Amino acid sequence: MNKSISFIQAIEGFELNVRSRYLSQGTVKDYFTTFRKFFNFLEDDPPIELISSKHVERFLASQENISNKTLLNYHRGLSALWTWCIKEDLVKDHIVQKVDRPKPEKKSIVPYTQVDVKAMLEAVGKSMIYSRPGKKESCHTVTHPERNRAIILLLLDTGIRATELCDLKIHNTDLKNRRITVMGKGSKQRTIPISARTGQMIWRYLTLRKNARVNEPLFATRDGRPINRDQLLKALRVIGKRAGIAGVNVHRFRHTFAVSYLRNGGDPFSLQIMLGHSTKEMVKNYLSLAQADLEKNHMLASPVDNWRL
């Protein structure tokens, strides 16, 4: 065992391992955000062997104004690093496993309504109405309306994750047979059907990129680079602001797709496959919400209640 290897040296070796495994950009970004924060907490670059579970506990306890979900991500990132260190015989003990995993808060699932989605689609191409001294109220056109309209419909139609959407290439779309192929977590590929309307919007957007090649990103920035998660979130938030909808994000589209799918008669097993979940736990949450919706509708529509028999 090499006790002289420092924390930074361990990270450098782990990075080479991560790159060779083709993990998603989001996962890699989360890992190294955690490592940077932990390094700043340590204040120096100690030998990796001398870092203890107490350091990890104090690091997690020192984080302020962040959610338990973020703390859990920190724990996962450090755990992945120490798992690799064990395999490389750099440390004796897996110190992170000795630290209790933070339990993320259970957030309520709030899907978009039909009104919300229509408002966002209407807001895609125009800015908010504004006025200037001595002139009438007006608005102006904005960039990427066709791209953003296609993005909204695809997110709503498939429930794919932000990273999965950003990683899509043109050749991952089969508009003739109306389906897309995404690379999910753990490098697990899956094919998802799309509606004719969504396919039409993607086709319309691609007609504006006549010289684009099949290996280029499906959704690109002005300079042809793939849109990243931050740019995607910013674009959706701007659209939400113009539409008067608070809390717009990618995951709410995922919730909306899942709940609508179940409400309209889709089965949980196929939903689990389309969402790329390895277990049924998250699907159970969607089922609970859909069931509550059915019970509410039954109370409103039941002839026994309404006819006062």
- Give the domain CATH number at 263: 1.10.443.10
94 with 26, same domain? Answer: yes
The predicted model gives 97-115 an average pLDDT of: 84
91 with 211, same domain? Answer: no
22 is a catalytic site residue = no
In this predicted model, which residue has the larger pLDDT, 109 or 50? Answer: 50
Q: Is the pLDDT of residue 162 over 90?
A: yes
Q: Which CATH number fits the domain that encloses residue 20?
A: 1.10.150.130
Q: What is the pLDDT of residue 225?
A: 92
Q: Is the pLDDT of residue 3 over 60?
A: no
Of 71, 98, 125, the last residue of a domain is 98
Range of the domain at 266: 114-300
How many CA atoms lie less than 13 Å away from 119 in the CB half-sphere?
Answer: 17
Residue from 179, 190, 229, 277 carrying the catalytic annotation: 277
254 is a catalytic site residue = yes
Residue from 76, 179, 185, 209 carrying the catalytic annotation: 185
Residue from 112, 254, 255, 261 carrying the catalytic annotation: 254
149 with 294, same domain? Answer: yes
Query: 48 near 7, Cβ under 8 Å?
Result: yes
| Tokens 């109306």 belong to residue | 178
185 is a catalytic site residue = yes
163 with 296, same domain? Answer: yes
The answer to whether residue 306 is domain-embedded is no
Q: What is the pLDDT of residue 309?
A: 45
221 with 286, same domain? Answer: yes
How far apart are the C-alpha atoms of 156 and 255, rounded to whole Å?
9
The answer to whether residue 119 is domain-embedded is yes
40 with 121, same domain? Answer: no
Percent of residues, the chain, with pLDDT higher than 90: 59
Query: 154 near 198, Cβ under 8 Å?
Result: yes
144 is a catalytic site residue = no
Count: domains in the chain = 2
The answer to whether residue 103 is domain-embedded is no
The answer to whether residue 38 is domain-embedded is yes
Compute the mean pLDDT over every residue in the chain, rounded to the nearest whole number.
86
Percent of residues, the chain, with pLDDT higher than 70: 85
183 with 146, same domain? Answer: yes
63 with 159, same domain? Answer: no
135 is a catalytic site residue = no
What is the band of 134 on the pLDDT scale with cuts at 50, 70, 90? low
The answer to whether residue 87 is domain-embedded is yes
3-state DSSP helix/strand/coil percent for the chain, to nearest 5? 55, 5, 35
Helix (H) and strand (E) counts for the chain?
Answer: 13, 3
Query: 228 near 166, Cβ under 8 Å?
Result: yes
242 is a catalytic site residue = no
Of 58, 73, 98, the last residue of a domain is 98
The answer to whether residue 308 is domain-embedded is no
Summarised one tens digit per residue, pLDDT across range 235-266 is 999 999 999 999 899 999 998 998 888 888 88
The predicted model gives 122-150 an average pLDDT of: 72
The answer to whether residue 108 is domain-embedded is no
35 with 90, same domain? Answer: yes
Residue from 251, 284, 296, 298 carrying the catalytic annotation: 251
Q: Is the pLDDT of residue 165 over 60?
A: yes
237 with 151, same domain? Answer: yes
The predicted model gives 83-104 an average pLDDT of: 92
**Which contiguous run of DSSP H or E holds residue 232?**
helix 229-243
251 with 276, same domain? Answer: yes
Q: Is the pLDDT of residue 82 over 90?
A: yes
284 with 182, same domain? Answer: yes
Give the number of other CB atoms < 10 A from CB of residue 58: 11
The predicted model gives 213-221 an average pLDDT of: 95
